[in-house]
Amino acid sequence: MSEGLAFCHERLVAHLDCFDGNWLGNLNTYEGQEFPYSPPSERRFKPLRSLFPFKIYLIDFECAVSFSPDSVPSTRLVTGFPSDGYDRPMPPEMEATEPYDPFAVDIWQLGFYFDRLSCLGHLPASLRALFSRMRVPVPADRPSAKTVLAELMALRDSFSPEELKMPVHSVEQ
């Protein structure tokens, strides 16, 4: 997810609606079930991600804004809500009347989504700290998408292949 957002930001596209309904992936889930979900053993089948590499895509760009590569970074600002009737959780700057950085909004939104993963429990402290930094109230204090991606990749590289293959259990389990 952070790779997709970094890809967009490098091309000066801010999504402005980075919530779970706008990410499409090939997860092994059942209709009507909450993530994470483990079906009864008699209904288990080989997960799609074991047949080919897992992919996830950012979709629904109707709220997105883009800027020209020739634009001055300090002018890459927007005002107001991304659309009429916008009812997603919002960082503080979206509710103000001043222009704001849409790229920082994307980081806040992705941090909000990632922070919901705390239901999985046993997340490393460094990962929780990153999620928290992504949601700080001051937009300029949030990491860039490129920084988020680099930190996540460094964290991933710190785990052994065996650790990365371990199942993730919810706090309730």
Q: What pLDDT score was predicted for residue 44? A: 53
Q: Does residue 173 lie within any of the structural domains?
A: no
Q: What pLDDT score was predicted for residue 124? A: 80
Instruction: Tell me how far apart the alpha carbons of residues 112 and 131 are, in angstroms, rounded to a whole number.
Output: 8
Residue 103 maps to which CATH number? 1.10.510.10
Q: Does residue 51 lie within any of the structural domains?
A: yes
Give the pLDDT confidence of 7-24 residue by residue, as tens digits: 999 999 999 999 988 988
Taking every pair of Cα atoms in the chain, the longest distance, rounded to a whole number of angstroms, is 58
Q: Does residue 83 lie within any of the structural domains?
A: no
**What string of DSSP letters covers 58-115?**
E---TT-EE--TTS-GGG--B-S-SSTT--S---GGGGSSS-B-HHHHHHHHHHHHHH
Q: Which residues of the chain have pLDDT under 50?
A: 29-32, 35-37, 173
Q: What pLDDT score was predicted for residue 1? A: 92
Q: What pLDDT score was predicted for residue 29? A: 47
Q: What pLDDT score was predicted for residue 121? A: 63
Q: Does residue 134 lie within any of the structural domains?
A: yes
15, two tokens: 């999504």
Q: What pLDDT score was predicted for residue 145? A: 98
How many structural domains comprise the chain?
1
Q: What pLDDT score was predicted for residue 66? A: 98
Q: What pTM was estimated for this model as a whole?
A: 0.81
Q: What pLDDT score was predicted for residue 161? A: 82
Q: What pLDDT score was predicted for residue 128? A: 86
Q: Does residue 170 lie within any of the structural domains?
A: no
- By residue range, what is the domain housing residue 100? 2-67+88-165
